[in-house]
Amino acid sequence: MNVADYAGTNSYWMPFLTNDNDVDTIMSHLRTSGQKILRIWGFNDVKTVPGSGTVYFQSFSGSTATINTGSNGLQRLDAVVKAAEKHGIKLIINFVNNWTDYGGMAAYFSACNVSNNAGWYQSTKCQSLYQAYIKAVIARYRSSTAVFAWELANEPRCNGCQTSVLTSWIRKTSDYIRSLDSDHMITVGDEGFGLAGDTTYPYGYSEGIDWAANLAVPNISFGTFHLYTEAWGVAANKTFGQSWVAAHAAVCKKLNKPCLFEEYGVTNKAEHCSVEGAWQKASLGLKEEGMAGDLFWQLGDKVGSTGQLTHDDGHTIYYGSEDWKCLVDQHVKNIG
């Protein structure tokens, strides 16, 4: 991956839409807006099979997992991949969630007899189930022109663990993915915790992450980091974000691997353009110093078949809105 600058976004919800035309229309909006990369959830795990029409990708029962390849299963992910191919959008496909939304690691717990995420990372049974799912997804999309990168997890953490737990898991998982696919990039999907430069919580190692050590793992192709100042209890201002971007870019440059500013946002809508715009500018200003692009959290749009807007978590930037004009249209123009 050459260090260039790409603009993109995140949509956890797109693979869960049930109308192909809706997916195609929203993907076309990304294309015409100059967005290059879309990060999506490639997981949707359940412990009980839901009613007809509800989308899920994998279900757990007893000590086994069943992958749903039906019309309310991975065929919904198929529609996203197909639309991305059509519109020239590159996808980052994520395999599991640290959080319990859409099942996450917790959906595996009963099947592999663990009680927390720390156990999940270290359980042979959990990892066997997880790798079986990875294998199924990669086999399905390995030849797609839309795949940009495979991603280990959404925001993996191991609170209170030795950092070696996650580094070992990242090494083993990325080696496994590479054994299945020699062509596509692989990344972690983490928040960027655990690096030198500050004494505030995000820079610390309490979540079991040594960011530089994890990025140095041979089969990790590029670094990811996120930024949520409000959730992390640090000043929700431009300055912290600018320093956060610069700190990660410096590590990426040292290790000769690009950085992707993969998620960021503030919930104060009045600060969407001013604060997030400053963070984008900081990232763009370091494109020769380790940065390769940024993906705002999160994409918002109107679903044509229902007329409803997609989920607004406070961070959402809706297609065509005033916030979109500054954080997408202007940003893409600045990239050139």
Residue numbers annotated as active site:
155, 263
- Read off the amino acid at residue 205: Y
* Residue 270: CB atoms within 10 Å: 8
Per the DSSP assignment, residues forming a β-bridge with 73 are: none
Q: Rounded to an integer, what distance in angstroms lies between the CA atom of residue 276 and that of residue 32? A: 22
Structure tokens at 100: 């319990």
Residue pointed to by tokens 């996650």: 166
Reference 127, options 148, 100, 156, 147; nearest CA is 156
31: number of CA atoms within 13 Å, CB side? 15
